[in-house]
Amino acid sequence: MTKYEAVIGLEVHVELRTKTKAFCSCPNEFGSEPNSNVCPICLSMPGTLPVLNKSLLEYGIKAGLAMNCEIAHYCKFDRKNYFYPDLPKAYQISQNDFPLCRNGYLDIEVDGEVRRIGINRIHMEEDAGKLLHGEGKADYSLVDLNRGGVPLLEIVTEPDIRTPEEARLFLENLKQILQYLDVSDCKMEEGSLRCDANISLRPAGSSVLNTKVEIKNMNSFKAVQHALESEISRQQKLYETGGEVVQETRAWDENTGKTSVMRAKETASDYRYFPDPDLVPVVLNDEMIDEIREGLPELPAARKQRFIEEYGLPAYDAGVLTSSKELADYYEECVRGYHDPKKVSNWVMVELLRLLNTNSLDIKESKLTPSHLIEMLNMMDKGTISGKIAKTVFEEMFVSGKRAAQIVEEKGLLQISDEDQLAAIIDEIIAAHPEVVEDYRKGKKKALGFFVGQVMKKTRGKANPQIVNKLLLARL
């Protein structure tokens, strides 16, 4: 039986978080009253003139540089013509033959190996409006043009992706980079990051390119992976049964777990591209590009590597901690105030991320700040609180935002390190369990654990474990 491999390319649309829209000065905001962020330009009135937003250009160059692209010294805008009710002027301002960025790549790590995914191009364009179908029980649709003219980058990969998992990993990496650059919030649920995929199959090892199918309507990275998996098995069945894969656009349906035909694929000629006569071409010199290059922040891959080298963290920890810029900043603020980076990593990665997850909170919303954690770690070092109590204190800090010292005082959680006080408790327990003492002396060393447990129970976890052990051993 023939073994097949998939040839996958992605097209990602990213809404940029500029203050204003791409070609007018309307606010670029999500969630406003419908048709409130609009003006004659983004409503596509005849006779209006678009003016390029400088931030759109800068964000595009940043993204291109971060993805190792060549930045064009000359690029221009074109009209992409199509008829659809969300676009009153019947063309989208986009870039066709002279895009802003070309020939880049992103390296992703798949099962410990680096895979290089080529970026064919990144270009600037505007978003269209949004149709609201059958609101309530209406038998009509409404159009909201707030999104019309919102600046977009379209990022097109080479068909270098071979598995649905690689596609998901690529998207996760891309999202991290865009968030580090602070050019987009990348909220898929609000549509600020959208992904279409092209996929064809061929016999493994062959270099032919077979008919490809485009898949749309995927609302999460998981959905992209699932849709591609489903499409691979659909195409494979067609090839195995002598059927034919038709070039078309298919929609992913999360509920059925299947793709279905949306429409026959348009080709470039259907869009009748031509240069937009209202916008002058963009000419860039090296100086402008270099200036933006110098202002780029440290990117996720570089930061991960630095965490490994500078803080001696395992690659896994470094990967988790640099997964978002905010989390990495949080971690570094802790490390600046505390001497043991690995200990900090454990508390942040295990305890803090667990609490954030279960409470569906973002690191930015955490009441437990780096200084909270630093204070608590110092209290542990001084023996003021035990490791066990620290977990309670940590959760309480997370919930209330109170300081560790205050929680310890209010709840009476100070560690008991006073030998006389502990000795009295231990003597009492030993006296109450002569049979266990007997077992211990006969060689049943596990009985020691029983006594430690009893002491902890009696002191509600506050006894200093080292001292308890020392005192118990001396008596048994």
Q: Between vectors from CA 475 to CA 472 and to CA 476, what angle results, nearest 5°? A: 85
Among the residue ranges 25-33, 93-101, 173-181, 325-333, the one whose residues contact Zn ion (CB under 5 A): 25-33
Residue 96 DSSP class = S
Among 5, 34, 39, 355, binds Zn ion (CB under 5 A): 39
CB of 79 to Zn ion, least distance (A): 18
Count of other CB atoms within 10 angstroms of residue 123 = 23
Among 12, 16, 22, 26, binds Zn ion (CB under 5 A): 26
State the Cα–Cα distance between residues 463 and 456, nearest whole angstrom.
6
Residue 42 vs 385, nearer CB to Zn ion: 42
Among the residue ranges 31-39, 105-113, 246-254, 292-300, the one whose residues contact Zn ion (CB under 5 A): 31-39
Residue 148 vs 341, nearer CB to Zn ion: 148
| 37 within 8 A of 144, measured Cβ to Cβ | no
Instruction: Give SS3 for 45.
Output: coil
String marking each residue 207-226 x if it binds Zn ion according to CB under 5 A: --------------------
CB of 278 to Zn ion, least distance (A): 14
Sign for the CA dihedral angle at 13, 16, 17, 19 comes to negative
Among the residue ranges 37-45, 50-58, 158-166, 360-368, the one whose residues contact Zn ion (CB under 5 A): 37-45
Tokens of 330: 């949080």
What does 329-382 look like in DSSP terms, one character per residue? HHHHHHHHH-S-HHHHHHIIIIIIHHHHHHTT--GGG-SS-HHHHHHHHHHHHT
Residue 90 DSSP class = S
Structure-token match 């989208």, residue found? 92
Residue 39 vs 476, nearer CB to Zn ion: 39
Residue 36 vs 233, nearer CB to Zn ion: 36
Total residues in contact with Zn ion, by rule CB under 5 A:
5
Residues 5-24 contacting Zn ion, CB under 5 A: 24
Among 7, 42, 152, 390, binds Zn ion (CB under 5 A): 42
Classify each residue of 447-459 as buried b or exposed e, where b means 16 or more C-beta atoms within 10 Å of its C-beta.
beeebbebbbeeb
CB of 48 to Zn ion, least distance (A): 9
Residue 25 vs 400, nearer CB to Zn ion: 25
Which residues does residue 157 pair with via DSSP β-bridges, in sequence order? 119
CB of 89 to Zn ion, least distance (A): 12
CB of 128 to Zn ion, least distance (A): 13
CB of 152 to Zn ion, least distance (A): 15
- Contacting residues toward Zn ion, per CB under 5 A: 24, 26, 39, 41-42
